[in-house]
């Protein structure tokens, strides 16, 4: 992993179109600004990890069949 | 095409019903080709079955089925990745998690599967709407809608 030291208001370029800016630093919190093309997705990593875990949970369920579910959720 | 699945045995489907998720599903990036199995007339639920891993299948539900006021705003980047479908060609599903007591089953509204039905391209997007939560209780929501109808 590449580790760079930056001060407030300094930034990092990734390729020629993504800029990560250190907007503010307060004790143990860093405020970061991201300038990127619209097609680039930016998410907090926790959000992404939670979805990943939820998908894995959904993919490993083997204890029921749809008929059983349909009895509970009558259409 | 025929495909031997772990859960359903041999399944048969038309090639033009195969949906491609170019980036996979979050956590399952290696698998991109799926088919939807199930009889929609009889069931709110369907299966999204991988045709690259016989054991990989998700229970899915259309959020519109259980949440009458559901709406989703798609960002330009998502529409672009879905090859700009007409709005009538956009189909949305949520992945369902079924706990030991199925009554507590939840749908993932935060990361819906959005499909371009015409071109058969899908993508799991991340909704930025704070009302779209990761675990939305389906039965509670259905009961809520019923109560609303009674009041009306």
Interface test with B, best of A18, A34, A55 (most B CBs within 10 A): A55
If you write DSSP's letter for every residue of A12-35 in order, what string do you get?
A: EEETTTEEEEEEEEETTEEEEEEE
Q: Hey, which residues does A27 pair with through a beta bridge?
A: none
Asked if the structure places residue A2 within a domain, the reply is: no
Determine the Cα–Cα distance for residues B44 and A67; give it in Å rounded to an integer. 11
Lowest mean pLDDT among A19-33, A36-50, A54-68, B6-20: A54-68
Single out the residue of B131, B53, B141, B134 nearest to residue A57, CA to CA. B134
Higher pLDDT, A68 or A7: A7
Asked if the structure places residue A47 within a domain, the reply is: yes
> For residue B147, is pLDDT > 80?
no
Domain count, chain A: 1
> Is the CB of residue B25 less than 8 Å away from at least one CB of chain A?
yes
Note the pLDDT of residue A60. Answer: 83
Determine the Cα–Cα distance for residues A19 and B120; give it in Å rounded to an integer. 34
Rounded to the nearest angstrom, the minimum Cα separation between A44 and chain B is 11
Mean per-residue pLDDT for A58-66? 78
Q: Count how many residues are written for chain A.
A: 75
Higher pLDDT, B106 or B146: B106
- CATH code, domain with B93: 2.30.290.10
Beta strands B45-50 and B57-61, pairing class: antiparallel
Mean per-residue pLDDT for B26-37? 96
Higher pLDDT, B115 or B43: B115
Listed in sequence order, the residues at least 6 apart from A7 whose beta carbon sits closer than 8 Å to its beta carbon are A22
Range of the domain at B128: 2-151
pLDDT digits (tens, 9 = 90+) for B66-117: 998 999 999 888 999 999 899 999 999 999 999 888 889 999 999 999 999 9
> For residue B136, is pLDDT > 60?
yes
Range of the domain at A65: 11-72
Q: A34 falls in which pLDDT band (50, 70, 90)?
A: very high
Domain count, chain B: 1
Determine the Cα–Cα distance for residues A49 and A43; give it in Å rounded to an integer. 10
Asked if the structure places residue A33 within a domain, the reply is: yes
Angle at A51 between CA A50 and CA A57, to 5 degrees: 90
CB contact under 8 Å between A72 and B47, yes or no, is no
Query: Residue B101: phi, psi to the nearest 5?
Result: -95, 105
ipTM: 0.90
Asked if the structure places residue A21 within a domain, the reply is: yes
Mean per-residue pLDDT for A40-55? 92
Give the nearest partner residue to A58 out of B44, B95, B100, using CB atoms: B95
């Amino acid at each position: 992993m590449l580790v760079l030291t930056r001060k407030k208001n300094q930034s990092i370029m990734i390729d020629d179109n993504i800029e990560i800016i250190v907007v503010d630093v307060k004790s143990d919190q860093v405020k970061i600004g991201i300038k990127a093309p619209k097609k680039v997705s930016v998410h907090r990593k926790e959000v992404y990890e939670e979805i990943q875990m939820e998908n894995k949970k959904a993919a490993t369920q083997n204890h029921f069949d749809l008929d059983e579910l349909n009895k509970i959720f009558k259409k | 095409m025929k495909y031997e699945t772990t859960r359903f045995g041999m399944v048969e489907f038309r090639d033009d019903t195969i949906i491609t998720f170019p980036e996979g599903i979050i956590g399952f990036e290696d698998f991109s080709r799926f088919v939807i199995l199930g009889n929609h007339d009889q069931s709110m639920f369907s299966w999204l079955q991988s045709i690259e891993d016989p054991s990989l299948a998700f229970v899915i539900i259309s959020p519109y089925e259980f949440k009458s006021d559901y709406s989703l705003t798609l960002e330009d980047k998502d529409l672009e990745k879905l090859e700009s479908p007409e709005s009538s060609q956009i189909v949305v599903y949520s992945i369902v998690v079924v706990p030991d007591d199925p009554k507590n089953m939840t749908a993932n509204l935060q990361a819906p599967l959005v499909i371009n039905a015409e071109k058969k391209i899908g993508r799991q997007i991340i909704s930025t709407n704070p009302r779209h939560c990761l675990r939305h209780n389906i039965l509670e929501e259905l009961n809520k809608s019923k109560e609303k109808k009674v009041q009306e």
